[in-house]
Amino acid sequence: MTDSKEELATDDVIRGVQGWLDEKFIAAFGSRRAQARAFEAQLKAWSEKNERKFTAEVKGDTLELVVMDVIGDFFFGGVSANSIKRELDRAPNAKKIRVLVNSPGGDAFDGISIRSLLKRHPATVTVEILGEAASAAAIIATAGDRVEMHLGSMLMIHRAWSIAIGNAGDMQAAADDLAKLDEGQVSIFTARSNQEAGKVKKWLDAETRMTAEEAIERGFADAMAAEVSAGPAPKQAKAKASDVSRFAADVNLGSSEPGAVPISAGDQASDCFEVVGSQDESLAKDDAERQLLAAHRAKVQEDIQAARRANSPFLRALGTPPPVLGGMHR
């Protein structure tokens, strides 16, 4: 698709530059036509060296469109409605379309056109906002049957703006056109969010930036995007009762009796288990697992107390173990 040598963004740039040169300069160059064509070739070579900010790739039954540029057919590139249409035409049988967006916006009518193209395609459309979907890019986001936003991403909507030159009549006409464009935006965002038109107008007037949470709450997005992580920190090995008993039996801090365990060693075993056991409980997924861990800890505590009794003639005679410092923490 876009793996061909002639890249999409480059195609759009060259077409625009070629038309501009043909119309404005080449006719005037006359005998210097060759120099003009050489300049055009240099511009093409420059464009080919630059990183593409719009790509398309078919992955199984899914067409993935990556939009990482301004919206519209600007002089040095941009993601145009023509570029999107070309990719959609190349994948008429796609069952799913995933659009990854990070764009500050651009041409409102290109944004509306891209939205319309995605809406008229039979595939299910998911829009994933990676960083920013602002202005015209926010319009594109409304094409999603599902809109997902990543942590820290934002969506921005605002009233349309433009540049006008001319007399009072020209300025008034431009203002009227912008007002109509704003009405179109209200319709688009209201349809997506199911919010009242009055609220949407206020958000447009205020040039509103929405966090992922705010966009979801207001209906501009559906959910947080799933993010792949390395997973939880590896669990420390659980201390088994036999391990703690062996620890207590193996530690001899100067006792003269073979196999005798000083109480200090029992305390060390208890402290060791308190640390490991607490970590295990914090990682337990449900109450049943925590209960099992608690029972396991109780058994280990018994072994520790048995080690203390075996070491102390007084405790052997008494037969009642003292309380374990730290106890059970739930």
Q: Are 95 and 123 in contact (CB under 8 A)?
A: yes
Where do the DSSP E strands lie in the chain? Answer: 54-59, 62-67, 96-103, 124-134, 146-149, 154-157, 208-211, 223-224
3-state secondary structure at position 146 = strand
Backbone angles phi, psi at 328, to 5 degrees: -100, 130
Residue 194's contacts (CB-CB under 8 Å, 6 or more residues apart) are 219
C-alpha–C-alpha distance, residues 261 and 255, integer Å: 7
DSSP 106: B
- Yes or no: say if 159 and 182 are a contact pair by the CB < 8 Å rule: yes
Q: Assess whether pLDDT exceeds 80 at residue 222.
A: yes
pLDDT in tens, 33-43: 666 677 666 66
Q: What are phi and psi of 257, to 5 degrees?
A: -90, 130
Three-class SS of residue 195?
A: coil
Secondary structure in 3-state letters for 51-101? CCCEEEEEECCEEEEEECCCECCECCECECHHHHHHHHHHCCCCCEEEEEE
Q: Is the pLDDT of residue 120 over 90?
A: yes
Please list, in sequence order, all residues whose beta carbon lies within 8 angstroms of the beta carbon of residue 225, skipping any fewer than 6 positions away: 128, 129, 148, 149, 150
- Cα–Cα distance measured from residue 327 to residue 323, given in angstroms and rounded to the nearest whole number: 8
The whole-model pTM stands at 0.58
What residue type is 300 in one-letter code?
V
Structure tokens of 174? Answer: 């431009």
| pLDDT score of 17 | 64
* Span 178-198, average pLDDT: 97
- Residue 34 or 154, more confident: 154
- Which pLDDT does position 309 carry in this prediction? 61
Q: Parallel, antiparallel, or unpaired for β 223-224 and 146-149?
A: parallel
Q: Which two tokens stand for residue 145?
A: 């049957």
Minimum mean pLDDT among 87-96, 129-138, 289-298: which range? 289-298
Q: What is the pLDDT of residues 69-116, one digit of tens each?
A: 999 986 557 899 999 999 999 999 999 999 999 999 999 999 999 999
Locate the domains of the chain by residue range: 1-50, 53-224, 241-318
Q: What pLDDT score was predicted for residue 227?
A: 87
Least confident range from 48-52, 199-203, 323-327: namely 323-327
The CATH architecture of the domain made up of 53-224 is Alpha-Beta Complex (3.90)
Single-letter amino acid code for the residue at 214: E
What is the average pLDDT across 215-224? Answer: 97
Per the prediction, the chain carries an average pLDDT of: 76
Please, which residues bridge with residue 47 across strands? none
**Range 131-159 average pLDDT:** 98
Q: pLDDT by residue (tens digit) across 234-278?
A: 554 444 444 444 444 444 433 434 444 444 444 444 444 444 444
- Above 70 in pLDDT, residue 204? yes
Longest Cα separation, the chain: 117
Alpha carbon 21 to chain centroid, angstroms: 42
Q: How confident is the model at residue 155 (pLDDT cuts 50, 70, 90)?
A: very high
45 pLDDT band (50/70/90 cuts)?
A: low
As a whole number, mean pLDDT of residues 154-177 equals 95
pLDDT of residue 10: 56
Beta bridge partners of 39: none
Which residue type, as a one-letter code, is found at position 50? N
* Residue range 127-145: mean pLDDT, rounded: 98
